[in-house]
Amino acid sequence: METTDQDDVAAIGGDPTLLLVDDDKPFLQRLARAMETRGFTVAIADSVEAGLASVKTHAPAYAVVDMRLGDGNGLDIIEAIRARREDTRAVILTGYGNIATAVNAVKLGAIDYLSKPADADEVFAALTRRSGEKVAPPENPMSADRVRWEHIQRVYEMCDRNVSETARRLNMHRRTLQRILAKRAPR
């Protein structure tokens, strides 16, 4: 069994409560164990419904929430946490990263937005980073294909996920847009 590092405990502060919400159960269990070894008191949920129930019982000081869950959007949990406790440090995790949803997450109260696969060190750093502390720039900047994909995703979100309206605004055939949206993001 690993011991908790005193620096980790100091970075967490007085309230170590952490809510982890993700529908990928193996990932959720690994992250929960890793965060417990760093000094957090972890509660887990694998759905929006379970996450909202946990927030009603006790609003945590920290939260890591997956954006897309089987029964809805993780941003609903961020909103519920913010309504009950404004000082919660929440991080959004997602395998479907794009700029529009990152901006939306921050507007709703998330302090950071991490793309999967994120490891426990990245999550811990995001949760304990203090305001004003700068994040190191990425070693591998986005490719031109990724920038294009991000732009399409941003317009798609602005059009309330309406494919026809997005295609019209991007001056693109609707079927072409559907094929792009069905693919994973380029690296």
What are 93-116's pLDDT values in tens digits?
876 666 677 777 777 878 888 877
Rounded percentage of the chain residues whose pLDDT exceeds 90: 33
Residue 76 forms part of a structural domain: yes
169 lies in the same domain as 122: no
As given in the structure block, the two tokens for residue 64 are 């890591």
Residue 31 forms part of a structural domain: yes
- The amino acid at residue 131 is S
81 lies in the same domain as 149: no
Question: Does 175 score more than 90 pLDDT?
Answer: yes
90 lies in the same domain as 159: no
3-class SS string, 101-136: HHHHHHHCCEEEEEECCCCHHHHHHHHHCCCCCCCC
pLDDT score of 121: 86
Residue 138 forms part of a structural domain: no
Question: Does 2 score more than 50 pLDDT?
Answer: no
pTM: 0.68
112 lies in the same domain as 159: no
Q: Whole domain around residue 71: which residue ranges?
A: 6-128
Residue 135 forms part of a structural domain: no
pLDDT in tens, 124-171: 888 888 766 665 555 666 677 877 887 888 788 888 889 999 999 999
Structural domains in the chain (count): 2
Question: Does 53 score more than 60 pLDDT?
Answer: yes
Please tell me what DSSP assigns to residue 85. Answer: -
38 lies in the same domain as 119: yes
Question: Does 44 score more than 90 pLDDT?
Answer: yes
Would you say 85 and 108 are in contact if contact means Cβ atoms under 8 Å apart? no
pLDDT in tens, 64-78: 998 888 888 888 999
32 lies in the same domain as 93: yes
Would you say 166 and 177 are in contact if contact means Cβ atoms under 8 Å apart? yes
CATH of the domain at 97: 3.40.50.2300
Would you say 126 and 98 are in contact if contact means Cβ atoms under 8 Å apart? no
40 lies in the same domain as 77: yes
65-97 CB burial, b ≥16 within 10 A, e <16: bbbebeeebbbbbbebbbeebeebbbbbbbeeb
Question: Does 7 score more than 70 pLDDT?
Answer: no
Question: What is the average pLDDT score of the chain?
Answer: 83
Residue 1 forms part of a structural domain: no
Residue 64 forms part of a structural domain: yes
CATH of the domain at 155: 1.10.10.60
14 lies in the same domain as 80: yes
153 lies in the same domain as 124: no
If we measure between CA atoms, which residue out of 59, 67, 117 comes closest to residue 89?
59
